[in-house]
Amino acid sequence: MNGKWFNFHKKQGKVAKQAHLGFPENTYEREMGKEGFFGPVTHFYHQHKHTGWTHFEGDNRPRAFDTNLFGGAHGTPWDAHVLMKNNSVKIRMLRLDANMQQLVRNADGDDLLFFHKGTADLYCDFGHLVVKEGDYLLLPKGTMWRLEVANPCEILMVESTNGHYQLPDKGLLGPNAIVDAAVYRVPEINDPFRAQYGEENWTVLVKRLQKISTIQYPFNPLDAVGWQGDLMPVALNWRDISPLMSHRFHVPPSAHTTFLGNRFVICTFVPRLFETDPEALKVPFYHNNDDYDEVLFYHAGNFFSRDNIHPGMITLHPTGFTHGPHPKAMSHAFEQKNAMTEEVAVMIDTRDPLEVCDAAEQVEWPDYVNSWKE
């Protein structure tokens, strides 16, 4: 039996004329919603910030991790630290200082790589592609691939376990908005690819059910002379994303969705103009995201809603409590010094709770929960 949401609107007391615009005097807005930012929602107007806790105890707390503290490098992606996971997603941090000497294949799901640092040459079933800092690289499940690094690479890896990546529906915006299909890059069967054909021995490391099997070949299996179809790796640089904006309304993070996974979404925050209406909120609103765990990977720039956060850090805001801007950011809630934001960040919102793995706990900033104190 299919259900539907309640669809009537009620209000009590003093409220804003619309969400995120024109608050009652001396109040703070808090949003409570279903299904992330896609379902029914109510906005409260409080006398106090609900991030103003004096004590916070337990595992269900805001957490932060600094991946810059990881030492060493990895030989393959399957050696990389798993930081967080559930049945739908695995989040890793891969560091490559040298060329991969083996091919890899993920039989558990699609992989999405975000290049935080470095430049590399991808060689895969489909050909050759140069990938660089700021690139997303989507590798369909079953793709054989390796990377040759031009310089050390730090890569955020997000596996869509037992699932696939798709694109969000842009609706009324049309097909060319936010990301135009013309900017996606794909591997080519070009001279560098043909140059790596060979009869030497190669090993493929296949990951299935999080275990590794090996396949030995007496030749390089990346030997395609052509391909055609609509399944392929694609690369997208954040600089080619044109963010959705409103000069009067602080749009929710869901408007910045770049990829849809199986029970999770990936959004990209890139520089954009601040809202210009003097009554419009110009920082993220306080909210309860009671259906999704929220992960943010901070790539570059000035993270205007956060204090003491730098590139390479990851924050986790699990469901069940109010979160939002730090106190310093709230002092500029309605007036910003600059015309634009400067941050670049990757957000991973998961419909199911995330388990924090031992590797992440080794680089945790335990005092993050206290960073909202005035």
Taking CA atoms, 39 is separated from 174, 191, 229, 233, in Å, by: 22, 50, 36, 32
CATH number at residue 193: 2.60.120.10
Residue 9 within any structural domain of the chain = no
Instruction: Single out the residue in 223, 238, 253 at which a domain terminates.
Output: 238
Residue 2 within any structural domain of the chain = no
Number of domains in the chain: 2
Same domain, 78 and 213: yes
Residue 208 within any structural domain of the chain = yes
Same domain, 90 and 230: yes
Residue 16 within any structural domain of the chain = no
Same domain, 246 and 207: no
Q: Write out the DSSP string of 96-119.
A: ESS--SSEEEESSEEEEEEEEE--
Instruction: Single out the residue in 238, 266, 301 at which a domain terminates.
Output: 238
Same domain, 191 and 307: no
Q: What pLDDT score does 19 carry?
A: 85
Residue 172 within any structural domain of the chain = no
Q: What pLDDT score does 218 carry?
A: 98
Q: What pLDDT score does 276 carry?
A: 82
Q: What pLDDT score does 331 carry?
A: 72
Residue 173 within any structural domain of the chain = no
> Which residue's entry shows tokens 């995120």?
20
Same domain, 204 and 312: no
- Residue 150: which residues within 8 A CB-CB, separation 6 or more? 118, 119, 120, 121
Structural domain boundaries enclosing 221 = 72-163+183-238
Q: What is the mean pLDDT of each run of 10 residues along the chain (374 residues)?
A: 83 89 89 85 91 90 95 94 97 98 98 98 98 98 98 98 94 90 97 98 96 98 98 98 84 88 96 82 82 95 80 95 82 75 94 96 94 85
Q: What pLDDT score does 325 carry?
A: 85
Residue 11 within any structural domain of the chain = no
Copy the structure tokens of residue 245. 């904006």
Q: What pLDDT score does 212 carry?
A: 97
Q: What pLDDT score does 223 carry?
A: 98
Same domain, 210 and 351: no
Same domain, 137 and 279: no
Other Cβ atoms less than 10 A from the Cβ of 104: the count is 22
